[in-house]
Structure 1
Amino acid sequence: MLDLVSLRRDFHMHPEVGFTEFRTASKVAEILASLGYEVLIGPEAMDGDARRGLPPADVLEAAYERALRDGANPQIVEKMRGGYTAVIGIKKGSKEGPTVAFRFDMDALPVLESTDMDHVPQAKGFRSRYEGNMHACAHDGHTTIGLGLAEKLADGNFSGTVKLIFQPAEEGVRGAYSIVQKGHLDDVDYLFCHHLGTNVPLGEVHGASLGFLATTKMVAHFHGVSSHAGATPEKGRNALLGAATALLNIHGISRFSTGSTRVNVGVLEGGTAANIIPQYAKMVVETRSVAEEINAELEQRVRTIIAHSAAMHELDYEIEVVGGAIPINSDLDLAELAMEEARAVEGFTSFKVSDSNSMGSEDASFMIKRVQERGGKGTYMAIGTDIPAPHHHPKFDIQEEILPRAVALLHRIATRFLT
């Protein structure tokens, strides 16, 4: 029987950011295979061309080598080389029936974990061993819950098919789209996604989380001409000035009367020295909105500003989309059924069919939409755990007693739809 706490702590000690989850994915694949699941990894699990915001090749290779040093199965990770870190486990039951899928994200964040002794992972010896990376959003817990559910369903004593989707690169909303594009959601009748925490206390569970925003993440590259800033400034084409022009105008975009919007330039960098006209500049920008159509219009305005800012300064430019998501429209009847099952799980005492507890974005939205487009249903649940610090904070942590409760909940949901 899997030791959920030990498993979660192992994942916590070895956090891997998006598309570099080689060790984590290797462990997931090994456990699924040991439980008799059909396991899809590498290009079988995701469309390589549909991956967004893939790290540079040298970063991927360094993470691959580190995973091997830290015990990843060489035969498994070889198939994941280059950032193919999704894992899908499939178990067919003893009789025909629906296909029920569950999604679990695996990636960590580029956050330096706290070394203060009031931080439980530090005090109990399972703080991150990868300095600068940290599980600061409960994905170590999500992965563990997925494997606990896999164990519960391993006997195949049900009617239908279970599909367990372990997704890379949720942070930055980058990884789900490639799994969708590979077609793995096309045969799913019911899809359940969830998140631990999100300001929901221990003992409370929500059948549907509302408030997720549509978003587009873009990197704009500006290319100019370098020149001596004192002797021949007129010979240069200042890429950083063009990017700065774009930044100021992007933040000056009018708000929309049709729905809330957000826009932010989070990175602006370029130049090499005070006396050199910057030849290159990079800007990272995101748009968000409550509606997919509004976000699309906001994105187009950003693109127009970038194009005209580049033209003003006689620059070349290109725009790269590195992430995206759409709003989640959960099926509330599915959420109600999930809450019926939650009431039977010891430790859950407060229940809401739906609640607005997010103003972020989630790329599980693409998975849920694809299922719904094919006539199925999906929902995104919130499972409560008290947290000592906000998500993405150096002292973020979860209460480990939630792990078996969450497994029990998902097992009851699966059993309900597979009988």
Structure 2
Amino acid sequence: MKSLLEIRRELHKIPEVGFKEEKTQKYLLTIIEKLWKPYIQIDVWRTGIIVTINGSNPQLKIGWRSDIDGLPVSENTGLAYSSEHPGFMHACGHDFHMTIALGLVQAFSENQPENTVIIYFQPAEEGPGGAKPMLEWLQSERPDLVPDTIFALHIAPEYPVGTIATRPGMLFANTSELFIDLKGVGGHAAYPHNTRDMTVAAANLMIQLQTIVSRNINPLDSAVVTIGKMTSGTVQNIIAEDARLEGTIRTMSAESMKLIKKRIEALCRATEIAYECQVSIDYGSSYYQVENDVHCAYELLRFAEQFPGVVAYECPPAMTGEDFGFFLKDLPGAMFWTGANTSYGLHHSAMQPDEELINVNIQFVEQFLRSFTFYK
């Protein structure tokens, strides 16, 4: 097997977006197949891979999930192993997640675990969301591959390498994309009375959307409605027939997400009446909150406190979104942040996580999964 450092760099070169990870899947399979042992089973689902390491004395099935997709971001790191796919980059650390998961497969292939360990290489975390359909397929078609409990990690740029940060209960928020299209009547700027101006309609709707959190959400709750992009018009003397708002919704409760969407729909209906136009809404990818099982989260923290070279930290919840929440909605388990020590944040074109995190996390996760016992 190649060195893990070389594997990570080769994966970094070939980022692919959700459900199009053909090169990534092929590359992963070439590594995994070389690690095969009689007690290892390899299955595929769409562009994902499921590796089962059957235990020598199994009392339960422990899952470990890694995501495998990249982002539509043009890389700006200047690295010798930068993305070879123009316009795409592993800007969220999934190349590290995959490498750690491969390191776990290697470790368990060399030393069979007592409990069965199932490692999921899941596609499409960044969108449109691979966790929910993968879990649904497992539950309906392959219940033998459904774990009793499941864990995962995500790199955290702001923490030093060796930091393991998590918490019982909510770790990441409910999230939803938001796309609003407005259609009116365009025309010459000199004859506004013959048009239905969608620049004006969209601008007013965007301002109204900002009142939802401040006037409809309990101040003791937390929520975000952000419009990050607005497009309309073609040239300065033509009134826009079409406009589009693109944004995101993030909440700390599923109930608040429902309320916000209800208010968005009401404001859009009001906009249709006020500006005599048509408004359509697309929520895109919506992810359920990452809700850590209390026992699993505390076991992670307890183990981290005793593990050499690791610092345990009970962190606050974040407005970050992660489709691992769909696994935790149905299965007990936990996710944790792991320190990556980089000055650039997630999804930034210049993000360069510290490669030292690979070996630290393989050792930590391997030993944690070997020692974990689940309460019944």
1:264-314 Cα deviation digits (max 9, x unpaired):
111211333344443332221222122121122112111221222123222
- What's the counterpart of residue 400 of structure 1? 355
Pairs within 5 Å for 1:146-157 = 146-154=101-109, 157=112
Q: CA deviation at 1:21?
A: 2.6
- Distance in 2 (CA, whole Å) between partners of 1:169 and 1:203 is 27
Q: Which amino acid aligns with 2:96?
A: G
**Is 1:351 aligned to residue 351 of structure 2?**
no
Query: Among 203, 223, 226, which residue is 1:264 paired with?
Result: 226
> Compared with structure 1, are the counterparts of its residues 248 and 339 closer, same or farther at alpha carbon in structure 2 (3 Å cutoff)?
closer
**Is 1:391 aligned to residue 346 of structure 2?**
yes
Aligned partner of residue 217 in structure 1, secondary structure: strand
| Greater mean alpha carbon deviation, residues 239-248 or residues 295-304 | 239-248
- What's the counterpart of residue 284 of structure 2? 322
TM-score scaled by structure 1?
0.77
> Compared with structure 1, are the counterparts of its residues 178 and 243 closer, same or farther at alpha carbon in structure 2 (3 Å cutoff)?
farther
Aligned partner of residue 349 in structure 2, secondary structure: coil
Q: Which amino acid aligns with 1:368?
A: L
- Distance in 2 (CA, whole Å) between partners of 1:361 and 1:199 is 17
- Distance in 2 (CA, whole Å) between partners of 1:397 and 1:96 is 39
Structure 2: gaps spanning 5 or more residues? none
Q: Which amino acid aligns with 1:130?
A: H
**Is 1:410 aligned to residue 358 of structure 2?**
no
Q: CA deviation at 1:94?
A: 4.3
Runs of 4+ in 1 over 6 A off after TM superposition: none
Aligned partner of residue 108 in structure 1, secondary structure: coil
- What's the counterpart of residue 54 of structure 2? 92
- What's the counterpart of residue 306 of structure 1? 268
- Distance in 2 (CA, whole Å) between partners of 1:305 and 1:87 is 43
- What's the counterpart of residue 10 of structure 1? 10
- Distance in 1 (CA, whole Å) between partners of 2:206 and 2:130 is 27
1:382-419 Cα deviation digits (max 9, x unpaired):
22232133323333212212212211222112222489
- What's the counterpart of residue 118 of structure 2? 163
- What's the counterpart of residue 174 of structure 2? 214
- What's the counterpart of residue 61 of structure 1? none
Aligned partners of 1:39 and 1:89 also within 8 Å: yes
Aligned partners of 1:94 and 1:156 also within 8 Å: no
Q: CA deviation at 1:235?
A: 4.2
- What's the counterpart of residue 335 of structure 1? 297
Aligned partners of 2:213 and 2:225 also within 8 Å: no
Aligned partners of 2:77 and 2:351 also within 8 Å: no
Aligned partner of residue 132 in structure 2, secondary structure: helix
> Compared with structure 1, are the counterparts of its residues 321 and 86 closer, same or farther at alpha carbon in structure 2 (3 Å cutoff)?
farther
Aligned partners of 2:158 and 2:343 also within 8 Å: no
Query: Among 302, 325, 328, which residue is 1:365 paired with?
Result: 325
| Greater mean alpha carbon deviation, residues 240-249 or residues 288-297 | 240-249
Q: How many residues align?
A: 363
- What's the counterpart of residue 65 of structure 1? none
**Is 1:297 aligned to residue 259 of structure 2?**
yes
- What's the counterpart of residue 81 of structure 1? none
TM-score scaled by structure 2?
0.85
Q: CA deviation at 1:355?
A: 1.6
